[in-house]
Structure 1
Amino acid sequence: MKTIDAKTVQEKLENGEQLNLIDVREADEVATGKIPGALHMPLGLVEFREHELDKNAAYIMVCRSGGRSGQATQYLESKGFNVTNMTGGMLDWEGSIE
């Protein structure tokens, strides 16, 4: 499984890179703030919503600490998607939130 840390994601966004972020936390967690532009797709719905994703795009999976996003990364990777897990999750995130 490919991984990236929260600081690197933040630096990429601050440098103007367009990233496809998917936040797999639950709605009440996302309500407290998410990375701007991240798509909210709760972990329990990933398998039902994978048709919304493009296998030619790269995605970075986000959750609170990196565990659930790791599960989503493994699942989507097994389905042929280009996915990377953001280790440390929102606990390590120091950038802006919306």
Structure 2
Amino acid sequence: MKSAHDLVAEAKAHIHEIDLQEAEQAIRAADALIDVREPDEFVQGHIPGAVNIPRGLLEFKLSATQELAPRDLKLVLYCKTSGRAALAAASLKQMGYLQVSSISGGFDAWAEAGKAVQQTSLPSFE
């Protein structure tokens, strides 16, 4: 029986994973930077310019969003440490997306390297 780590390792063998040095250029060249973490993680901090599409909804959202449906889009994905993003990138590759990259080390590596982080303010209901 395969573990989650086995599935991530298999996915990483078939996707394009980029390091932090490549990430900034790839993000500038991308049509979309997608954070596949959960909304509560995204609100706490994310890479500026990212859109949040949780891993569990990714395939459905991309199929249903006209701007994200073209298979030749340049997409950069990330999650907390790179496991979910690797699985997402492999799934998008299976869907026919041709230019999908995943950031190695994910958001944690990005933040630890001192790169820009944006936080989303939630409205106060008081």
TM-score (norm 1): 0.87
Task: State the shift of 1:6 in Å.
Answer: 2.5
1:47-58 equivalent positions in 2, closer than 5 A: 47-51=59-63, 52=65, 53=68, 54-58=70-74
* Deviation per residue, 1:28-78 (Å, 9 max, x gap): 110111111111100000121122223121101100000000010000000
Q: Which has the larger radius of gyration?
A: 2
Identity %: 33
Kindly tell me the number of residue pairs found equivalent between the two proteins: 95
Query: Are 1:76 and 2:88 counterparts?
Result: no
Aligned to 1:43: 55
Q: Which runs of 5+ in 1 are unaligned?
A: none
Greater share of helix: 2
Quick one: distance in 1 between partners of 2:83 and 2:35?
12
Quick one: distance in 1 between partners of 2:22 and 2:106?
12
User: Could you say which structure has the greater relative contact order, defined with CA pairs below 8 angstroms and 6 or more residues apart?
Assistant: 1
Look up the SS of the partner of 1:72 in the other structure.
helix
Task: State the shift of 1:17 in Å.
Answer: 2.7
Pairwise CA RMSD of aligned residues? Answer: 1.7
